[in-house]
Structure 1
Amino acid sequence: MLTGQFVPSPEPPEMPHATDVRTYRLPTGVRPSAYDAALSVDLDGRRFSGTVRIELALSAPAEEIVLHAADLALDRAVLHASGRQVPVAEVRTAKASETLILRLAAAAPAGPATLDLSFSGAMTPGLRGLYLAGSGLAATQFEAADARRVFPCFDEPGFKATWRLAVEAPKGAVVLSNGTPVREEDRGATRRVSFSETPPLPTYLVALVVGRVDALPPVTVRSVPVRTWASPEKVPLTGFGQDVAVEVLPRLEDYFAVPYAFGKLDQVGLPEFEAGAMENAGLVTFREVALLLDPSTASLAQKKRVAEVVTHELAHQWFGNWVTMTWWDDLWLNEAFATWMAYKIVDQWNPGWRVWLDFDQGKAAAMQLDALRSTHPIRAEVKDVADAGEAFDLITYEKGGAVLRMIEGYLGAERFRDGIRRYMRRHAKANAVADDLWSALAEASQQPVVELANAWIGEPGFPLVRVARNGRALRLEQRRFFSDPASATGATLALWPVPMVIRYRTGGRDVEQRVLLREASTEVVLEGEPEVLCGNAGATGFYRVAYDAGLLAALRSHLGALGPAERIALVQDEWALVRAGEREIGAFLDLCEAFAGEEDHAVLDELVARLATIEHRLVEEKDRPALQAFVARLFRPQLAAVGWDAAAGEPDAVRLRRAAAVRALGLVARDREVAVEARARLDRWLAGDRAALEANLHDAAVAIVARAGDAARFEAFRSLFGKETDPAFRRRYLLALASFEDAGLAHRGIDLCFSGDVPLQDSASFVGALLGNRTARDPFWIRLRAEWAPLLEKVRGAPMLLRRVVEAMGALVERRHLEEAQTFLAEHPVDEARQAIAQTLERLRQDVELRERTQAPVGGWLAAKA
């Protein structure tokens, strides 16, 4: 036994210990079964202290106990085993692995044991561990491995244990945790709240919120009380997020056939939060913009985003919390499933939103990343928690979700659901790996799920399927797709089992044929000669399609034969082929022109995004007016058809069509009339006339007005940012301050970035907005490199944001920028963002090469159309 105040030695012994490497994993011979912890939180002093009793099971005699702790002072350590105290001879910290080694004076026998620890520490300056999340408000964020900054613990997902927590905090502070409050004690200036014991949890799902928050009364759904919290002045914005949770929770219970396990559900909007949200069991924390909104002023995109995020986190209560991955290389198992499930449930609740089209936008972004050499498999090897941090990306979430959707489509929805239910029952309250899921799905479906899944989960990249027709014979060829033309060499070596759904029209009827393309090439006999053919029906497959000239010409002439998702996929695939050097930019612009009569807002959004990229990267200054005129010709009829004012009861489809037209004309074409109208309507809206600017137009109007704004407008937006309570509007005004194109005001935006006034959670977005501003780009790029060290220090406590700052460099445009970025990042390596650096530089190089080979052809095409 070692008692009293002591400081563990930070120096390693002469002989290195296994813990002296970053990749160290805790031994499995000592496992926790229960934590009984008490924590005292000092909000003003930004410190905490506590005790924890950990019930252990030793599979063999142990001479030392190793557990995680980072930046904690240990005051007391006592081990009890076999009814006696086992003295702790030495306590040592290992900085590399963030572990605490308790060396025992004598071996503890196999069997049950209890470890009592007393400790203290400081709140972190970043957004991990226990940190200040707002004025008078502290919160925890423990994923992937930051519980160790608050509790000495076994901080790996494979060590699930029950938690019983008691928290002492200043009187008047709200205290929330995973369990339900079961007892409160008045201690004078403080109050102690004890919570009920949780089901077995990994440490990354333990959570605490302490401080100034409030909520409307709870709503009970199937005996589960649901409550949504926010800073007191923002409580009126909690209703929509609350309604979403109440609607989707029973739908999730029905899908999994497992009741919600965590007693109650608290949702908390935090003013400072690194990610979008965190699925802590029974206490889900959110960035405010992902939870809070006013339904009367929010755009449909905001509502859908809140619904998707809330549902994503609630899906985790089963997939991740009830059944948990064993180690971080199966992070995708949590995130991909929650991503897919969120869209499935929201679509079931509100089919009119057509959220699968939003899902496809995420899939498209993942395909752009997955077409790089520097991509990674969905299931990537994770050696340590730093690697785990880099796995929170589009491949893990969006590609993983798209592959699950593709497998569901192949197996059928009912058999897929039956396999999921089998998996949930078999691994309840425990840990699992990917093969456990595949086994359950294979048993339920009697299909070769293992072959299909492991090919897509374990290999990086995806196929390009070439489709060529000769009469009724359809030839299919696959190879790995790369966005870099130089990488196509040798790409034929990679093969996938590609579950294709081919739809075509022949003899006046539509026919679907399913093909599992396993080989490099095959031939399919069609029922008749097609008038028009789609090689990825419903756009549910995670592959690109390259049509031969005849099939492509037929599609361009019969766009109405395709559904909206298929039209979007056609544009995306043809654009990807331009990037890969397999299509001419002029042919792509011809395709854009063929969409002149398009009315579907989702398809229009895709066209606006592609034309904005061309305007940002590929057009020479002398050709810019001609490009703007081309965009205006495409979209002026769109705005003329719907007008600026929304009619009473107008469908969302019309409102969103209007919004796409305003974005195209105001931000891409820079149409003067649209800019004048946007400014007038925004001013009327700010003066209180909410009918002046329909909710879906506000974001675009602010951006349009900021670009051409003067000093008075800059100060007005800065004032609005300071006093706005709605998080979406507040963020909108903040990013507008990085968008002013007047040289003096652009410099004021740059100064703001380094002033400390930009919230940490928004710092990466602000950097990206400045690098995307054609006036601010060069002066900010110079200053960013000059003041890199303090910026890096600021965001280091939020490594996810650090990677986003690196990724923001992808907004640079010219070859000199690329060369400067390569040199700078080589001289200033960021260990936490190795993958982000590689991907950003690879993508930027491809963008520069695309610019250099397409600028002249773009100019020639525009000249021919003038």
Structure 2
Amino acid sequence: MNLKSLSTLVYAATMALLLGEFLPMERTLGLITPAAAQPADPSPTTAAPVQLPSNVIPEHYDIFVRPDVGNLSFDASVRITVSVREPTSEIVLNAADLQLERAVLRSSSEQVADVALQPEQQTATLTFGQTIEPGTYEVAIDYNGRISENADGLFVARYGPPAAPKQMLATQFEPVSARRFVPCWDEPARKATFSLSVAVPKDEVAVSNMPVEAITELDGGRHRVRFQRTPKMSSYLLFLSIGDLERLERTVGSTKLAVVARKGSASKGEFALDSAEQLLGYFNEYFGVPYPLPKLDMIAVPGGGGFSAMENWGAILYFENALLLDPALSPESARQRVFVVVAHEMAHQWFGNLVTMKWWDDLWLNEGFASWMENKATDRFHPEWMMWLQSESARQRAMRQDAKRTTHPVIQPVMRGDQATQAFDEITYRKGQAVIRMLEGYLEPEAFRRGIRSYMQRYAYQNAVTDELWAELEKVARQPIKPIADDFTRQPGVPLISVQDFRAEGSQTTVTLRQERFGVDDSARDPLVWRTPVSVVAIGSGALPVTQLVAGSSRSSIPVPGTPPIKINFGQTAYYRSHYPQEAFLALAERFRLLAPADQLGLLYDSWALGEAGFTPLTDYLTLIQKAPPGAESAVWRQIIQTLLSIDRLYTGQAEQATFRAFARTTLAPLFEQVDWDARPGEPETRAILREDLLNALGRFGEPSVMAEARHRFKAFVADPKSLPAAIRLPILRIVAVSADMALYATMHELAKKAADPLEQDQLFGVLAWAEDPALAKRTLEVALSDEPSRATGLGMITRVASHNPDLAWQFALGHLDALTARLDALQRYSFVPSLAAQSTNPTHLAELRRFIDDHVPAEFRQQADRSYADLEFRLRVKTERLPQITSWLATHGPIPPAAPVPRQ
């Protein structure tokens, strides 16, 4: 599953891709581990997870489903071939929101079971009148279930204009919603094969994991579509979709690749299909195991959910905006996002599908590796996008989570399957990705790949745990990797590597380092030790960096060629924060232009994080951005833009915001003069994304010339929609919405309601949420919960309103809690509403959020909600204790704000 929209809040943040390039380096390896500070055994000690009994194991499911969309229900039957391993009189399996009408055990005779459902445990117990001896049996169950209107289990996606509505069925089972579709052993280690049949209207198309095996006639204007048997796989990977669909298909080697979409839109998947063709050959070669299924469909579903895509084996589900590109609507950022998401989900066909984690505590084996491979593969085919640079922002989000007391290890205990929803977060995905990249660099890429190939071949069609991966890597690389890996995956937190001193002697400098834990709250007082690969280089020396393992809090010395200034974490390939004495920091700032883009980004991110936490003055960051040259890489400027927007939100409701916005405009306007409104022939593709970000920011900051030109272009757009190029369409619409009055808002609202295409409709409704005027923001919230936008778009609108009117969005959510909760799927259910309050700068909301969590979120599902509380708590502390530093700095460094606001038109 792709985290790029695990919650609507995270989805909005990751719509801006930020990423970069792996910088190869020759390393001098050493180990510095003071004897008094050896890392403790990080293995967690927890109670055993709650799982189904292991006395009965599924081997094969044969399922028949007859959906009734009009009544949001389905009737079904399943025949499960099971292996009974020890005598028993009952069989326990998973079932949720299902009614089991009849259950029979078949061998040489039949035994009818007494059926008892346990809704809280999401299980069903089949009790038989006599003991079942070990052997192979068939369990036949007739049952019925519900079709959801959210992306959970078997769900319906509605689209099209109100006068001619259409619908599409699809399934979403990860982590534990297969049990909402079929009684089953809904645990990743209980792999089995599946044969699926479905009753389909004759004018519609059905898609599943495997190709169609047979089609037979049924009554009532339907036919029965039966699909070929799947390979052995986990239940959460089963997939079904039904609708008015068309295919865009090609054959690559022995594999049929296809985009499957609502009729009339498959052509918009051409880029995704081209991308999949490139990626299939690359993954076949990299993993050393050819893709094993006969086909790989990519199914585009209208709407959205708490995720953007799901890696079902042979039938990947994507929401449309993660797969389809409309030449009239989609900017460059959307094109790059499609490639990255396709790469992520295709990587899962090996990491997750072919080899699957045994239990949800090792979810990172799926998601961390797919996140790492999405960048690695994208960088292979599109080095010009500088994907590792762009993705630095995602790693930084993980580090921000990891620096709070609400963090958790990458490998975290999951006691029940339904609690696995809490594990889909930035730590699992992005810290996991960062640790893998760090280990790949430490072992060298070729040795790392050989280890991955060995792992794939050994555990194909099986389940594995993290230690089995490390064993394969160590066997192939012939050097220990598990101790380093354990430090970063089995304990939480972020190392802080501080430069204590450096002593230059001739052409060499001895750098003294100290390691501790970086934390922004009381978590920093919980000391931990990591064996951290630390790379050190003298800027301008031309020498290769020296890398050593550093552990413990005692001072450690590393000799490097060259003279100061010194930069650590060269290329930003290791997972830690870097801290320099003030004199050393200023020396690096003066040479900012000489740093590689990855190191410029690292200095910016670390400076801001250390300033927020109080390790250094927050204004060091402002000093640093004044050294950024206009010609710096786009990802560097995008970091600056995002941080300026973050500061602006801290000033919400304060008079000083006008002064800060004037400073932000002064900082960005010269860059925009170079980038300009329209693309120039031959410009880098990353420049197009920078243009989007600059326009969004300058509109938010109220740059008069930008706002006037946006209104001029919007006026032409209303007369002729084709007049607005796709590359700047969305930013222009947003700029106009920011300062819209009631009449202009009404015009934009009408455009959204009249849009016939779901992609265009989602875009136009989303734009309404950029209106800053509180009355219009309130109107947007009302529209969001109406039937006008799709459910997912409505949630996105609420999140966007919360970014600039957080108090309004929070109170609206509390006042419409039932209606809002009804629209949330399993991945959003307990995190969405707290995430709205987390964007506030109002201290009264802290106690309100605590009460909400205590009253509305079950204790076992509070991990993400508690994180929102910690985020709000930290933001308020930064606003109170750190923001005054910026205000004082602006008094002597910032420009005079404009005399009057830009008039609305």
What's the TM-score, normalizing by structure 2? 0.89
2:657 to 624, 630, 645: 624
**Maintained 8 Å contact 2:675/2:691:** yes
Q: Matches of residues 141-290 of structure 1 in structure 2 within 5 Å?
A: 141-188=172-219, 189-216=221-248, 218-274=249-305, 275-290=307-322
Cα shift at 1:657: 4.1
Q: Which amino acid aligns with 1:111?
A: G
2:899 aligned residue = none
**Partner Cα separation in structure 1 for residue 761 and residue 844 of structure 2:** 35
Q: Match for 1:329 among 354, 358, 361?
A: 361
In 2, Cα distance between equivalents of 1:530 and 1:618: 41
SS at 2:264 equivalent:
helix
1:580 aligns with 2:613: yes
User: Structure 1 residues 657, 266: closer, same or farther in 2, change over 3 A?
Assistant: closer
1:499-578, aligned counterparts within 5 Å?
A: 499-505=533-539, 508-578=541-611
**Contact kept in structure 2, 1:42 and 1:170, CA below 8 Å:** no
2:85/2:134 contact within 8 Å kept? yes
Selected match of 2:635 from 602, 616, 633: 602
When residues 367 and 678 of structure 1 are mapped into structure 2, their CA distance, relative to the original with a 3 A threshold, is same
Q: Does 1:417 pair with 2:454?
A: no
Report the Cα offset of residue 597 of structure 1.
Answer: 3.7
In structure 2, the partner of 1:826 is: 854
Higher mean displacement: 295-304 or 340-349: 295-304
User: What does the per-residue CA deviation read over 1:386-441, in whole Å, with 9 as the maximum and x for residues that have no partner?
Assistant: 32011011111111111111110101111111111111111111111111111111
Asked whether the equivalents of residues 92 and 102 of structure 1 are also in contact (C-alpha less than 8 Å), the reply is yes
Is the 1:22–1:384 contact (alpha carbons within 8 Å) kept by the matching residues of 2?
no
In the alignment, structure 1 residue 751 sits paired with structure 2 residue 785:
no
Alpha-carbon shift at residue 689 of structure 1 (Å): 6.9
- Cα 1:800–1:88 change in 2 (3 A) is same
Instruction: Write the distance in 2 (CA, Å) between the matches of 1:311 and 1:515.
Output: 33
Distance 1:76 1:525 in 2: 71
Q: Is the Cα–Cα contact under 8 Å of residues 308 and 346 in structure 1 kept in the other structure?
A: yes
Alignment of 1:473 with 2:510, yes or no, is yes
Q: 1:636 to 1:89 in 2, by over 3 A?
A: closer
Gaps of 5+ in 1: 1-20
- Offset at residue 554 of structure 1 (A): 1.5
Matched, 1:44 2:44: no
Q: Is the 1:738–1:773 contact (alpha carbons within 8 Å) kept by the matching residues of 2? A: no
**Alpha carbons of structure 1 residues 324 and 172: separation in structure 2 relative to 1, 3 Å:** same
In structure 2, distance between residues paired with 1:499 and 1:844: 33
Q: Give the distance between the partners of 1:692 and 1:73, measured in 2 at CA.
A: 53
- Percent of pairs with identical residues: 33
The structural deviation recorded for 1:522 is 3.9
Name structure 2 gaps, 5 residues minimum. 1-46, 159-165, 504-508, 896-905
Counterpart contact for 2:81–2:138, Cα < 8 Å: yes
Contact 1:455/1:497 (<8 A) preserved: yes
For 2:24, the equivalent position in structure 1 comes to none
Q: SS where residue 828 of structure 2 aligns?
A: helix
The whole-number CA distance in structure 2 between the counterparts of 1:622 and 1:235 is: 50
Matched, 1:56 2:92: no
Report how far residue 470 of structure 1 moved: 2.5
C-alpha distance in 2, partners of 1:570/1:696? 31
- Determine if the alignment matches structure 1 residue 815 to structure 2 residue 843: yes
Q: Tell me which amino acid in the other structure corresponds to 1:480.
A: R
- The match for 1:405 is 437
Indicate yes or no: 2:763 matched with 1:719: no
Between the aligned partners of 1:355 and 1:690, the Cα distance in structure 2 is: 31
SS at match of 1:509: coil
Q: Is the 8 A contact 1:718 1:737 kept in 2?
A: yes
Residue 132 of structure 1 corresponds to which residue in structure 2? 156
Shift in CA distance, 741/296, structure 1 to aligned 2, threshold 3 Å: closer
RMSD value, Cα: 2.2
1:148-195 deviations in Å (ceiling 9; x for gaps): 111111111111111111111111111111111011112241111111
Structure 2 letter corresponding to 1:474? V
Matched, 1:66 2:92: yes
Q: Within 1, Cα distance between the matches of 2:660 and 2:794? A: 32
Does residue 120 in structure 1 map to residue 154 in structure 2?
no
- Aligned partners of 2:310, 2:85: CA distance in 1, in Å? 33
Of 683-692 and 728-737, more deviation after overlay is shown by: 683-692
SS for the counterpart of 1:163 is strand
How much does 1:685 deviate?
4.1
Amino acid at match of 2:666: R
Q: For residues 238 and 575 of structure 1, what CA distance do their matches in structure 2 show?
A: 40
Question: For the residues of structure 2 that align with 1:251 and 1:562, how far apart are their CA atoms?
Answer: 32
Which of residues 109, 112, 115 is equivalent to 1:84? Answer: 109
**Using the alignment, how far apart are the partners of 2:554 and 2:716 within structure 1?**
61
Alignment pair present for 1:848 and 2:876: yes
Q: How many residues align?
A: 834
Instruction: Indicate if the aligned counterparts of 1:24 and 1:97 stay in contact, CA closer than 8 A.
Output: no
Cα–Cα, structure 1 residues 254 and 675, in superposed 2: closer, same or farther, change >3 Å? same
Encode CA deviations 1:66-120: one digit per residue, 9 max, x unaligned: 1111222223222124x333x2452211112111111111111112122122222
Letter in 1 for 2:342: V
Name which structure has the greater RCO, CA cutoff 8 Å, separation 6+: 2
Q: Residue 429 in 1 paired to residue 458 in 2?
A: no
Letter in 2 for 1:362: A
User: How high is the TM-score relative to the length of structure 1?
Assistant: 0.92
Distance 2:553 2:538 in 1: 23
2:289 match: secondary structure:
coil
Question: What amino acid is the match of 1:246?
Answer: E
Contact 2:784-2:795 within 8 A present in 1 as well: no
Superposed counterparts of 1:303-342, under 5 Å = 303-342=335-374
Structure 2 distance, partners of 1:327, 1:745, is 47
Q: Which AA in structure 2 matches 1:29?
A: N
Instruction: Flag the 1:192–1:692 CA change in 2: closer, same or farther, 3 A.
Output: closer
The one-letter code matched in structure 1 to 2:81 is E
Q: Distance in 2 between matches of 1:208 and 1:214?
A: 15
**More deviation in 358-367 or 783-792?**
783-792
Q: Using the TM superposition, give the Cα deviation of residue 666 of structure 1 relative to its aligned residue in structure 2, in angstroms.
A: 2.3
After superposition, the Cα gap between the structure-2 partners of 1:239 and 1:37, relative to the gap in structure 1 and judged at 3 Å, is same
Instruction: Report the Cα distance in structure 1 between the residues aligned to 2:718 and 2:497, rounded to whole angstroms.
Output: 51
Conserved 8 A contact 1:600-1:657? no
The alpha-carbon deviation at position 783 of structure 1 amounts to 2.9
Letter in 1 for 2:751: L
SS at structure 2 position matched to 1:621: coil
1:649 aligns with 2:682: yes
Matched, 1:768 2:799: yes
Task: Report if aligned partners of 2:537, 2:560 keep a CA contact under 8 Å in 1.
Answer: no
- Provide closer, same or farther for how the CA distance between residues 344 and 148 of structure 1 changes in structure 2, counting only shifts above 3 A: same
Question: Over residues 451-491 of structure 1, what are the superposed CA-to-partner deviations in whole Å (9 max), with x where a residue is unaligned?
Answer: 1111111111120110133312211111111123x543x34
Return the offset for 1:519.
Answer: 2.5
Give 1:287 shift.
1.2
1:448 lines up with 2:480 in the alignment:
yes
Q: 1:756, CA displacement in angstroms?
A: 4.0
The residue number in structure 1 matching 2:399 is 367
User: Retained in 1: the 8 A contact 2:368–2:431?
Assistant: yes
Give the AA of the match of 2:844. Answer: R
1:105 and 2:155 correspond = no
